[in-house]
Amino acid sequence: MSDPILATHNLRKAFGALTATDDISIDLNEGEIHAIIGPNGAGKSTLIAQICGGLRPDSGSVHLLGRDVTSDSTQARAQAGLGRTFQISALAMEDTVLENAILGSLGASGRPWRFWQAALGDRTLRERAEAALERVGLSDLRDTRCGSLSHGQRRQLEVAVALTLEPKAFVMDEPMAGLGAEGSKLLTGFLDQLRTEAPILLVEHDMDAVLALADRISVLVYGKVIATGTVDEIRSSPEVRSAYLGEDA
């Protein structure tokens, strides 16, 4: 198998006496969705923050496309190909879908916001944003104010923003949050296709989505990965059943 696109080696982060992530080594391979699941407080957000650059690990490292990015900023990681979508929407509700796609990519790329007016008229940025909207199926809504979109459409727009930077890997933090059954189903179908473009590290509480999408699942409990495997392996793991899924899982 080729080298992983994204990997962590022995990541550790403590807050005082509490070890939030304890020696975490996971990887993400081309074409796959690797889901991270675990109960509240297991360390999922802390792990993601260390991968994306918001939080400096106490020890361990993060590798993107074989390069150690542990000391790189969030923006440098985004420029190097790490696409991120957030648990809480980072979109500007007053702006249109197209403006969000243009300005979101500008922000993620670390270019100064004082150039935003110029950015809106920048043909390259505009074309890239339009292409990304086309890919996620939002072209028809390009002039709609973001605040008028449904939850599901906002999630798609967040992916479009990330796509403008041509990511090599996605990190998604609970993309199904706030979506109804229908919205989750649509987004599940969308992510299913997206994995061929860039693999996805998916933190998600919605187990239906996880079971439908994940090529591999890692289970995090009290900061430690207690199991990594396929859906079937995780379902039949006695450790996982007792620690997380419950006996009837």
Contacts of ligand ATP in 70-89 (CB under 6 A): none
Nearer to ligand ATP, 107 or 178 (CB): 178
Q: State yes or no: residue 57 binds ligand ATP (CB under 6 A).
A: no
Q: How far is CA 13 from CA 3, 10, 202, in A?
A: 25, 10, 20
**Pair 30, 2: CB distance under 8 Å:** yes
> Please, which residue, 125 or 170, has the CB nearer to ligand ATP?
170
- 1, 17, 40, 114: residue in contact with ligand ATP (rule CB under 6 A): 40
- Segment 6-25, which members bind ligand ATP (CB under 6 A)? 15, 18, 20
* Residue count, binding to ligand ATP (CB under 6 A): 11
Which listed range, 41-49, 78-86, 189-197, 234-242, lies at the site for ligand ATP (CB under 6 A)? 41-49
Q: Are 30 and 201 in contact (CB under 8 A)?
A: no
44 vs 135 by CB, closer to ligand ATP: 44
Q: Pick from 27, 34, 35, 46: which binds ligand ATP (CB under 6 A)?
A: 46
Segment near ligand ATP (CB under 6 A); pick from 36-44, 105-113, 161-169, 211-219: 36-44
Instruction: Report the distance separating Cα 220 and Cα 137, nearest Å.
Output: 34
171 binds ligand ATP (CB under 6 A): no
Describe the crossing of helices 97-108 and 123-136 by its angle, rounded to 10 degrees.
Answer: 110
Which residues, other chains included, contact 203 with Cβ-Cβ below 8 Å and sequence gap of 6+?
35, 36, 37, 44, 45, 47, 48, 171, 172, 173, 174
Measured distance CA(15)–CA(9) in Å, rounded: 19
Compute CA 199 distance to the chain's CA centroid, rounded to the nearest angstrom.
10
Least Cβ distance, residue 174 to ligand ATP (angstroms)? 8
Contacts of 15 (CB under 8 A, 6+ apart): none
Is residue 42 a contact residue for ligand ATP (CB under 6 A)? yes
Minimal distance in Å, beta carbon 121 to ligand ATP? 40
The distance of closest approach from Cβ of residue 194 to ligand ATP in the complex, given in angstroms and rounded to an integer, is 23
How far, in Å, CA of 39 to CA of 246, rounded?
12
Closest distance of CB 3 from ligand ATP, Å: 27
CB 13, min distance to ligand ATP, A: 8
Interface ranges with ligand ATP (CB under 6 A): 15, 18, 20, 38, 40-46
